[in-house]
Structure 1
């Protein structure tokens, strides 16, 4: 795709605004970028429900496992500098691993840790730090736990996700680079990209969206406190904004000239393992690979107490989509997929200007409907969904006020009419759609008529 029309971006913004009023998510920030330009950078809903604090694009989110992509980038930079090799045994750089009673640990390589194929336990034998029952392990505690824990499976047999494995990679970076993980990432990744709203760890004096639990039975959510991720910062510690992540993923594109050589980027981005039970997902080195229709994207997800985030970029046309939410129980990946689908469905050209007067959102007792101008004509969709165009209806123009339903779901109103009524200034006063009269709406609130 060479360009994304302004009409498409405006619709996505309007749709996300509507969903923010109905979707039971405290707040979310969304960025869409292409060719070095931010086409959308907006926040919706609340940063804090108790204070009714409006979410802004400057609020940071705990982006959790996105951190793994930064760690992998740092590792590849050290490989390029000749300090390490991907197939080095980890114990060459962390000699204490040579003490491990499980001899399989002695041969675990950097590449295996990056691709989650070393067989390392995911979060240790006591992962209650995720429930805030204890602190995250520091480096001394992580080393102690690793030495007391056998590999769960033999290396190179399947993808087995591991935060502890990436904690070890953070220790490796510090050992080889001679500086802290935080210092390395700031100096070699964040500062060169001018990512001023991104940090490798939580900082108390920055502006954050409050993270919330999944909904209770009474539909309420409970806020989580902030906390340090200790030695697992290289796995789950990063904090960022949607705009900064859009900058980061554009730098990861082959040919960008930023961060790494194209050879290193190809190594990171190529398929290393299939994600079991998810045919559209594969994994590289510190990168998730997601197939969205015909698009192959790279990026990462992040789940943290109170946050669900997902951000990816199309490796071919460079369309980047970032979705950051401040609540459990939200499938950020589904929102990302829907945005890509909308971009693809609307296409590369602006719709006929003559159709724009027929666009609008309307409410009736059963649902909210919207009429959108596409390059090939007018369509009716259901905007109050994360899949708004799943059952889109095509309309064929009959005259200045009338359209005919020309293609729709079999249980709908094929062949029937849509008629418009306009005020003197050209504004739509109401419509009659397949016999149902509907009034214009912005937020879709129910109008009680009985």
Structure 2
């Protein structure tokens, strides 16, 4: 077994192989954090070292699970059902034109089995609203809702809007009040609600130039749009589908809550039944539940639950085993994005290293 500095040296070797700008990682074993560290830079321009506790990343699609967790809280309270007609919830018809009589449910939206796609884009809900877009039909695939899987960001931007319609609380505020604050996490969707000196810069790799380009759009404050905010419509501004900013160490705390089926210490975010529903695959094809997915491919022969994220050059991974109470958070703010068994090679190799040396 390797320890602290040896592990860091091995992680550094993997990071070097994929030219990573920076990597933050956290290991949980027996329900406790046993290691957390970071290497590389939070900013190339300022030459600042990356810090596992201090620096916040826009974690991309792992954000979806926060949206789903908030929705499941309302399901538990009996305010909505996973089998509700999603059109009734979002306030305009959600019907695949090829199957006009087939109800598209909240469960289908949260599991990417809704037959909805991102062809029209996902930054505005109007793209799929028949009253607002003459080409709304393009937002649907040709197969019957509930019969197949396609990953779709629009699903979750709409789910965030539903959250606002049901609670009359702005999306970013609701997530903070119901999930982040109770868990003691310094995180959020709204740029101006956070300490912007803590943001880790994100870098997209340009293969032609063999260079990294900083992506300032990742942390755009969008103040003007927020000043004209319309509840239940403007929600994509905060990107329920990918816009949460959080540190690797705080994301590990959130992961432990899901690992313990909705609880972290004495704080209960979800009941066990609702938490298990999130983790149970709806689609056999992809192993996807309600914004958490099941996989046996990341670590050979190990059943893991979690999610990945990729946007603006960032690649994030959060995976855990709820029975054996171990898990990993690995985030890079820029690397050469080589793929390996459907995962980003950098995060996959680091997770396997950490598992073999610290958990196994």
TM tier relative to shorter chain: 0.7 to 0.9
Residue 11 of structure 2 corresponds to residue 16 of structure 1: yes
Residue 199 of structure 2 corresponds to residue 211 of structure 1: no
**CA distance 1:146–1:321, change in 2 (3 Å):** farther
Number of paired residues? Answer: 328
Once residues 134 and 272 of structure 2 are traced to their aligned partners in structure 1, the CA distance between those partners, rounded to angstroms, is 34
Question: Out of 180, 199, 204, which is 2:188 matched to?
Answer: 199
**CA distance 1:99–1:85, change in 2 (3 Å):** closer
**CA distance 1:76–1:255, change in 2 (3 Å):** closer
Structure of higher RCO (CA pairs closer than 8 Å, 6+ residues apart) = 2
Trace 1:229-248 onto structure 2 (pairs within 5 A). 231-232=235-236, 233-248=239-254
> Could you list the runs of 5+ residues in structure 1 that have no partner in the other structure?
128-135, 276-280, 350-450
**CA distance 1:147–1:81, change in 2 (3 Å):** farther
Contact 1:116 1:162 in 2 (8 A): yes
**Equivalent residue, structure 1, for 2:226:** none
Structure showing greater radius of gyration is 1
- Give the alignment's TM-score, normalised by structure 2: 0.81
Question: Out of 24, 33, 36, which is 1:29 matched to?
Answer: 24
Report the CA distance between 1:213 and its aligned residue. 1.4
- Give the alignment's TM-score, normalised by structure 1: 0.66
Report the CA distance between 1:294 and its aligned residue. 2.6
**CA distance 1:43–1:289, change in 2 (3 Å):** same
Residue 322 of structure 2 corresponds to residue 302 of structure 1: no
| Structure whose residues are more often strand by fraction | 1
Contact 2:115 2:141 in 1 (8 A): yes
**Equivalent residue, structure 2, for 1:268:** 278
Contact 1:111 1:285 in 2 (8 A): yes
**CA distance 1:342–1:82, change in 2 (3 Å):** same
Once residues 142 and 59 of structure 1 are traced to their aligned partners in structure 2, the CA distance between those partners, rounded to angstroms, is 36
What do the CA deviations read for 1:388-438 (whole angstroms, capped 9, x no partner)?
Answer: xxxxxxxxxxxxxxxxxxxxxxxxxxxxxxxxxxxxxxxxxxxxxxxxxxx
RMSD between aligned residues: 2.8
**Equivalent residue, structure 1, for 2:294:** 289
Deviates more, 1:334-343 or 1:88-97: 334-343
- The DSSP-based 3-state class of the residue aligned with 1:295 is coil
**CA distance 1:234–1:106, change in 2 (3 Å):** farther
**CA distance 1:113–1:228, change in 2 (3 Å):** farther
Report the CA distance between 1:346 and its aligned residue. 4.3
**Equivalent residue, structure 2, for 1:321:** 328
> Could you list the runs of 5+ residues in structure 2 that have no partner in the other structure?
223-233
